[in-house]
Amino acid sequence: MDLKELEGIISGILDKAGQEIEGVREGARLEEWKVRYLGRKGEINRIFSLMPGLSDGLKREAGRMMNDLKSRLSLMYEEKENDSVESSGSVNLSFPGKPASYGHLHPISLTIREMSEIFKRLGFGVEAGPEIETSYYNFEALNIPDGHPARDAWDTFYINEKEKILLRPHTSPVQIRMMEKNRPPLRVVSVGKCFRRDAVDATHSPVFHQMEGFMVDRNINFAHLKGVLTYFINRMFGDGIRVKFNPSYFPFTEPSAELSMTCIICRGKGCSTCKNSGYIEVLGCGMIHPQVFRNVGYDPEKYSGFAFGMGIERMAIIKLGITDIRYFYQNDMKFINQFS
């Protein structure tokens, strides 16, 4: 073999090694490349093994060329390792990264936002009240005196029964706080956590959320109540949904009603969800009781108003087609990520 021939072999190896390393994208591949060229049975050692077959006159120059090839290949390896491969050899820093997950709102928060937006469009303000309440705001001011049988409807957790401090079982006390602090005209919704001594099952949770709303002004009547709530239901669930108001009883409203809407599952045809009635009950409402107005210092001869209260979980269950309230609190990402 003469030097020309050796030169040809060497430049062939350099070209091939250069092309191959170009396409390397991960540490493991780079290590394979290194073994192929610089390893014990690699190309470099194969070239060196040609040495004994060369004439003495060529050995010096051939040795220089081979060492040069070895340092060029080593340099290629180091450069590649530095610019794209972490030293562990397993991560390619030149790859685009995985996008970070920023998280998203919980389906209950999404439902609260959607409901609040609808009421904001009608000019309602959104307020919050305390989760720890006094018995006065929670019961007495709402025309539910001590010993009144209706109290049983709100199975309440007491923090201190003697001092009458409790975890609010509904958001209605916010009505009282808002009316005490402001003068009519008033249009307010308030949203938040409520607590009841309920055993957990598919439709009950001891912690849940409610939205309360009310409107007070001169000459507010039942038609205003129907108009506002029908608008809300149609924006929330669609224009084709019909609403029905059935007589009901709440101590803080007179008259009181229960609003039912077309069953969203069967669209009114009748199914197991609506117990074949075609309608599902979604909220309580009514005209604010004169005694409630007196309790906050409003003249019931001068002012009138309506109020309503509903469960957020119930709204979300209907809207999102969820079958069990417990899903909301289990933090199962497979569930939660469906509602981003």
Cβ closer to ligand DAH: 34 or 314?
A: 314
- Residue of closest CB approach to ligand DAH: 309
User: Least CB distance from residue 172 to ligand DAH, whole Å?
Assistant: 4
Which residue in 205, 253, 260, 304 binds ligand DAH (CB under 6 A)? 253
- In the chain the beta strands, taken as DSSP E runs, fall at 125-127, 132-134, 158-160, 165-167, 186-195, 207-217, 243-250, 253-262, 279-288, 304-311
**Helix 27-38 vs helix 56-84: crossing angle, to nearest 10:** 170
Which residue in 34, 170, 177, 289 binds ligand DAH (CB under 6 A)? 170
3 state SS of 129 = coil
Tell me the DSSP string of 241-288.
--EEEEEEEETTEEEEEEEEEE-TTTTTS--TTTTTSSEEEEEEEEEE
Q: Which stretch binds ligand DAH (CB under 6 A): 79-87, 97-105, 232-240, 280-288?
A: 280-288
Size of site (CB under 6 A) for ligand DAH: 11
- How far apart (Å, rounded) are the C-alpha atoms in residues 252 and 285? 10
286 binds ligand DAH (CB under 6 A): yes
Cβ closer to ligand DAH: 27 or 129?
A: 129
Please tell me what DSSP assigns to residue 163. T
Q: Which stretch binds ligand DAH (CB under 6 A): 36-44, 79-87, 283-291, 324-332?
A: 283-291
**Helix 56-84 vs helix 3-22: crossing angle, to nearest 10:** 10
Site map (CB under 6 A) of ligand DAH, residues 301-330, x = contact: ------xxx---------------------
Residues that bind ligand DAH (CB under 6 A): 170, 172, 212, 250, 253, 284-286, 307-309
